[in-house]
Amino acid sequence: MSEYPKPVKMSADRLAAVVDNQVVGDSVDPAHKSALAHATAEALIYREAPSDPAIVERLVVFADEHGLDVLASLWSEAHPTSLPGALWRLYLVRAALRHTIENSRVLFQEGVDQLNTIDQVVAGAPDPLDTKGLEKVLDDVLRGAFSGDLAQALERAAAIARAISAGSLHYSWINERDAHDLATRSLNWSIIARELSTSATTAREGKLS
């Protein structure tokens, strides 16, 4: 099993499994865990001084410094369209795509071409897109969530997930060897996109909790 470069402690295989909706569990009481998930998410989003750049930057790189497992243990089992569930998906999108950034760039660009919609505009991705540009977009999306516009951040993440889904589906048609894996990836990313979009709508209504 290939391992994520430290300090991101979640292995590549395990990260893929989480993207495939196989949650990370433990023996903590479910009610207590749910309360903790909501409390920590609310503390991050509804804290004072939401635009403090130093705080925002620390939150963006939190998973890099402390490990994605820390966030998984708190938020991965939360309802997909709850506040902790939405934040977990924002971190997961960033981690999963940055882990294979060149492959992600190819899938994203192909997805934008296939969709022929405003998804690239919503995502805020430059055209043409290189790996550094995609890394910046992923960081900016998470940065936006902690800077006072959670709904927009969720919409941008949903647009990215839709593009990855469309790109994966396209390559599943032309890559016979990996067709099944790519089709499965497309389905998983489409589910994540739908969950993020629903969360964005709920956040815009002031009801995401």
Q: Per the domain annotation, does 55 fall within a domain? A: yes
Q: Which residues are within 8 A (CB) of 19 and not within 5 positions of it... i.e. 6 or more apart?
A: 92, 96, 185, 188, 189, 192
Q: Per the domain annotation, does 52 fall within a domain? A: yes
What is d(CA 164, CA 132) in angstroms, rounded to the nearest whole number?
17
Q: Per the domain annotation, does 25 fall within a domain? A: yes
Q: Which residues are within 8 A (CB) of 85 and not within 5 positions of it... i.e. 6 or more apart?
A: 75, 78, 79, 195, 199
Q: Per the domain annotation, does 143 fall within a domain? A: yes
Q: Per the domain annotation, does 94 fall within a domain? A: yes
The reply to whether omega before 80 is within 30° of 0 (cis) is no
Does the global pTM surpass 0.95?
no
Residue 100's Cβ-count burial label (10 Å; 0-12, 13-18, 19+) is: middle
157-188: pLDDT as tens digits: 999 999 999 999 999 999 888 999 999 999 99
Q: Please state the domain count of the chain.
A: 1
Q: Per the domain annotation, does 115 fall within a domain? A: yes
Q: Per the domain annotation, does 2 fall within a domain? A: no
DSSP conformational letter for 28: S
What is d(CA 1, CA 15) in angstroms, rounded to the nearest whole number?
12
What is d(CA 88, CA 122) in angstroms, rounded to the nearest whole number?
20
Domain residues for the domain of 88 are 12-204
Whether the Cβ atoms of residue 202 and residue 150 lie closer than 8 Å to each other:
no
35-76: pLDDT as tens digits: 888 998 988 887 666 668 888 998 998 888 888 888 888 899
Structure confidence at residue 207 as a pLDDT band (50, 70, 90): very high
Q: Per the domain annotation, does 7 fall within a domain? A: no
